[in-house]
Amino acid sequence: MTTITKTIGTSSRDYSTISAWEADLSDDSIYSDSDDAVGVCYNDSAFDEAVVINGGNSIGSSSGQDLTSRKLTVHADSKHDGTAGSGARNVYTGSTSPVLDISINNTTVEWLEYDCSGAGAASRQLIRVANDVITGIYINNMIIHGVGNTTGNTMGIVVSNGGDSGNTRYLANNIIYDISDASTANFGLFCTNDSGKSEVYNNTIHGTGTNTGDFGLYILNGNVIFKNNISMASGGKDIQESGSPTEEYNMTSDTTASGTGNQASKTTADQFVSVTGGSEDLHIKSGSDAIDNGVDLVTAGNSNIDINGRDRNSQGDTWDIGAHEFVADAATTGAAFMMFVD
């Protein structure tokens, strides 16, 4: 087993697009059976592309010769600081939906910004985990915002049905906001699971629509664990659920946060550095109700690494709710950002 790392960007990198990196994942001149493929994005210029990640299953023409895993990540020098425009990003202007479609097991996507505020009318799902993609899925430390859709329901992240209760999809420390189109239903994070399982930890969701049919965190069919999430300023409900999900230590601006340690009916303006449209900064600020009110998840789904790269465990933090771990005197974007190399 070998880790094969390729660079992605427009300044003398191995690939100029994410699509080109993905297209080579089954190339037997590059990869062999059981290799791990890593694509490292750089903030040379903004990407503008829709991508389906499904390569590396049957390398070359050999059935059974498969990648062990694939990871799309960002170089340490190109990681965002928790705010839009600060790191490697895909500023999508096309009309494909989903904009990023994860269609194969053992895939990690992390540290990218997805800005779809200028996308075409058909781009209604920004990131999707496809049906029955259930093993080794991690979507972590992403910034996801904006929507150009006028033709159907809009979703920041959608996790589709999974078929094996023994496997899990993890979504942790993502910031999702401005998923709002006046003519449709809007969902910040939508999880539907029949027998598969999703674990949703320390995400921050803000501003999903203005209509009663809009939801921040929407859980359908129950087999979901969600803890330490902030969902606020939704047109309908901040959290909508069916079935019997496991929920603890979540925070909402309405009454929908339930379970142990919930923080319900909190004032949105008291929580974040800025909720002003176009200059959002969803780091929590001094005095926020999220501070020290989360539950320690140890390393579940890599939830210990916050949106700034801070390791809550190694720093001995009392866990906060949401994607950002507040640090006194170093809580905003630049001061708290801790670079770390893959």
pLDDT in tens, 113-128: 999 988 876 668 899 9
Cβ neighbours around 255 below 10 Å, total: 12
Residue position matching structure tokens 């694509």: 39
Whether residue 163 lies inside any domain: the answer is yes
Question: Are 182 and 214 a contacting pair, CB within 8 Å?
Answer: no
* Co-location of 119 and 261 in the same domain: yes
pLDDT in tens, 39-89: 999 999 999 999 999 999 989 876 678 999 999 999 999 999 999 999 999
pLDDT beyond 80 at 254: yes
Higher pLDDT, residue 202 or 340 = 202
Q: Is residue 342 part of a domain?
A: no
Q: Are residues 318 and 234 in the same domain?
A: yes
Residues 188 and 312 in one domain: yes
Domain ranges, residue 61: 1-44+52-78
Mean pLDDT within 310-329: 96
In a domain, 341, yes or no: no
Distance CA 9, CA 130 (A): 26
* High-pLDDT (> 90) share of the chain, %: 73
Q: Looking at the domain assignment, is residue 22 inside a domain?
A: yes
Boundary (domain end) residue, out of 31, 60, 78: 78
At 339, the pLDDT band (50, 70, 90 cuts) reads: very low
Q: What is the pLDDT of residue 161?
A: 75
Contact 93, 129 (CB under 8 A): no
Indicate whether 61 and 207 sit together in one domain: no
> What per-residue confidence (pLDDT) applies to 332?
46
Does any domain span residue 117?
yes
State which amino acid sits at residue 133. V
Q: Are residues 38 and 155 located together in one domain of the fold?
A: no
5 in any annotated domain: yes
Say whether both 60 and 83 belong to one domain.
Answer: no
209 or 174, greater pLDDT: 174
Encode pLDDT of 164-173 as tens digits: 666 789 999 9
Q: What is the pTM of this model?
A: 0.94
Rounded to whole angstroms, how far apart are CA atoms 287 and 325? 13
> What confidence category does residue 1 fall into, taking pLDDT thresholds of 50, 70 and 90?
confident
Mean pLDDT, the chain, whole residue set: 91
What b/e string do you get for 126-135 counting C-beta neighbours within 10 Å, with b at 16 or more? bbbbbebbbb
Please tell me whether residues 121 and 39 are part of one structural domain: no
Distance CA 140, CA 203 (A): 9
Q: Are residues 26 and 133 in the same domain?
A: no
User: Per residue in 85-115, pLDDT tens?
Assistant: 999 999 999 989 899 999 999 999 999 999 9
Domain count, the chain: 2
* Residue located via tokens 């959002």: 280
pLDDT in tens, 2-19: 999 999 999 999 999 999
Q: Average the pLDDT over 271-282 and give the result.
A: 96
Q: Among residues 189, 199, 246, which one has the least CA distance to residue 222?
A: 246
| Closest among 288, 297, 337, 336 to 319, alpha carbons compared | 297
What is the 3 state secondary structure string of the chain?
Answer: CCEEEEEECCCCCCECCHHHHHHCCCCCCCCCCCCEEEEEECCCCCECCCEEECCCCCCCCCCCCCCCEEEEEECHHHCCCCCCCCCCEEECCCCCCCCEEECCCCEEEECCEEECCCCCCCCCEEEEECCCCCCCEEEECCEEECCCCCCCCEEEEEECCCCCCCCEEEEECCEEECCCCCCCCEEEEEEECCCCEEEEECCEEECCCCCCCCEEEEEECCCEEEECCEEECCCCEEEEECCCCEEECCEECCCCCCCCCCECCCCHHHCEEECCCCCCEEEECCCCCCCCCCCCCCCHHHCCECCCCCECCCCCCCCCCCCCCCCCCCCCHHHHCCCCCC
Per mean pLDDT, which range of 144-148, 171-175, 190-194, 313-317 is the poorest? 190-194
